[in-house]
Amino acid sequence: MKALIIERSGEPSEVVHWRDLPEPTPGPAEVRVRMLLAPVHPSDLHVIRGRFARQRQPELPATPGSEGVGIIDAVGSDVPRTRVGERVVLFDVPGTWREQVISPADRAIPVPVAISDEDAAQALINPMTAWAMTMCEHRLKRGDWLVQSAAGSTVGRLVLQIAKAEGFRTINLVRREAQVAEIQALGGDVVLCTADECWTEQLKAATGDNGIESAIDCVAGRTGAVLARQLATNGCLLVYGALSSHRQTDAAAFEMPVFAPALVYSAAEVRGWFIFSWLAGKGVMEGSQTLRSLLDRMADGTLKPPAAQRYSLDRALEAFAAAESAAHDAKPLLAFTEH
Ligand SMILES: NC(=O)c1ccc[n+]([C@@H]2O[C@H](COP(=O)([O-])OP(=O)(O)OC[C@H]3O[C@@H](n4cnc5c(N)ncnc54)[C@H](OP(=O)(O)O)[C@@H]3O)[C@@H](O)[C@H]2O)c1
């Protein structure tokens, strides 16, 4: 069985290697999943560089990868044999960049037939992030407004789909002028480009006298600071990424200065948000139930992860480069079988 392995932290192109490992055997309450596809997320590359959340950094050597789709090909003694052959997505089972993954049986969630392998491979992290922040944290209702940065990101595009289905409205920030029309076409009610030097005034005008009630930000730096400063009374900004510090080693680039008087007088909240902390708070039963309902939405077409590009295993380094390239429009997926 082939597995991608890191033995030390560092640049993905230097430290990720293929290894041949013995075929794993599932324990009594486990299943073995023959992987079909697993995405390369920016966060996977953070793990490889040793820069991800401490509690999520694996002990080395380890296999990276945070989600994926595959077929159950063996089950433990306590798991019904009828599950062999089931196509499943893995619910928070780290280490998916390998041909065979051992998973607790209750974390291998069946995938409806209507969903493609490419979509199923991306069903957990970004759809769940978009759904949890908008519907569970901000509790947005029909007619409410949400401000989001990096609207062209995978999460941003999923938020736009949820907005369309649930009826909330969006003010979207992108960093490239060329993306404005694209995000408008996807249903963004207001789209502002942060390359425009007037964007902070435009944002103020778009949110009206009260300021921003609900926002999500994965850019941080100056963008996040502006959103925090424009929060309404009792407004809330969830910070879920720091793309402006991406690949930086300069500690100053990780800062997101908060203008204290605005925060004090608005009594607003700027809060970090992390899917794995949120999932841990929910537990396997509730979290996997949410994943099943997202899969149902994907099956009925209301939720569609962005286009994906398959990379065979010998092209893994190209997949890593694609995951970080500017202006990519397809999620790179590692493909474990020939298509
Ligand atoms: N906290 C959590 O639990 C959680 C969960 C999921 C994702 N995330 C984070 O969310 C972020 C987006 O993830 P994703 O998979 O959706 O990303 P993605 O699909 O790879 O998209 C990245 C997007 O961010 C934009 N971008 C990159 N650097 C930027 C910068 N310095 N300033 C402004 N925009 C920038 C890119 O714009 P261009 O098109 O112009 O290149 C692109 O639209 C990542 O930071 C990821 O780690 C966090």
- List the domains of the chain with CATH numbers: 2-123+283-335 (3.90.180.10), 126-273 (3.40.50.720)
288 lines ligand 1 (CB under 6 A): no
Residue 32 CA to ligand 1 center (angstroms) comes to 32
Strand order, beta sheet including 231-239: 190-193, 169-174, 145-148, 212-217, 231-239, 269-272
Binding site membership of 172 for ligand 1 (Cβ less than 6 Å): no
CB 194 within 8 A of CB 223: yes
Ligand 1 atom showing the smallest separation from residue 241 Cα: 45
Q: Is the pLDDT assigned to residue 263 strictly greater than 70? A: yes
Average pLDDT over residues 101-122: 98
Instruction: Evaluate whether 246 touches 267 at the Cβ level (below 8 Å).
Output: no
* Mean pLDDT of all residues in 227-246: 92
pLDDT at 247: 62
Collect all residues with Cβ–Cβ distance below 8 Å to 99 and sequence separation of at least 6.
1, 2, 3, 34, 35, 336
Answer yes or no: is the C-beta of 216 below 6 A from any ligand 1 atom. no
- Residue 32: the pLDDT is 98
- Give the pLDDT score at 324: 83
Residue 53 CA to ligand 1 centre (angstroms):
17
Separation between Cα atoms, residue 63 and residue 94, nearest integer Å: 8
Task: List, for residues 307-322, the tens digit of each pLDDT value.
Answer: 999 999 899 999 999 9
Q: Is the pLDDT of residue 31 over 60?
A: yes
Average pLDDT over residues 140-154: 96
Give residue 339's pLDDT band: very low, low, confident or very high (50, 70, 90).
low
Query: What atom in ligand 1 is closest to the CA of residue 155?
Result: 16
Q: pLDDT band at residue 249, thresholds of 50, 70 and 90?
A: low
- pLDDT-derived band at 327, boundaries 50, 70, 90: low
> Average model confidence (pLDDT) for the chain?
95
**Across the strands, what pairs with 62?**
6
CA distances from 194 to 117, 135, 147, 173, 217 (A): 35, 26, 13, 7, 13
287 has a pLDDT exceeding 80: yes
Rounded mean pLDDT, 121-149:
98
Helix axes 42-49, 316-324, angle to 10 degrees: 110
Mutate to test the pocket of ligand 1, among 175, 216, 219 (most ligand atoms within 8 A of CB): 175
Q: Token pair of 232, please?
A: 């309404």
Q: Which pLDDT score, from 0 to 100, does residue 243 have?
A: 84
Distance 150 CA to ligand 1 centre (A): 6
Residue type at position 261: P
CB 193 within 8 A of CB 177: yes
Query: What average pLDDT does range 78-89 have in this prediction?
Result: 98
Q: What is the pLDDT of residue 338?
A: 65
pLDDT for res 337? 84
Specify the residue with its C-alpha closest to ligand 1, atom 30: 244
Buried b (16+ CB within 10 A) or exposed e, 78-105: ebeeeeeebbbbbbbbbbbbbbbbbbbb
Does residue 103 have its Cβ closer than 6 Å to ligand 1? Answer: no
Record the tokens describing residue 106, joined without a space. Answer: 């209750």
Could you identify the atom of ligand 1 that is nearest to the CA of residue 276? 3
Find out whether the beta carbon of 193 lies less than 6 Å from any atom of ligand 1. Answer: no
Which pLDDT score, from 0 to 100, does residue 253 have? 67
H or E element in which residue 286 lies: helix 275-299
Adjacent-strand bridge partners of 83 = none
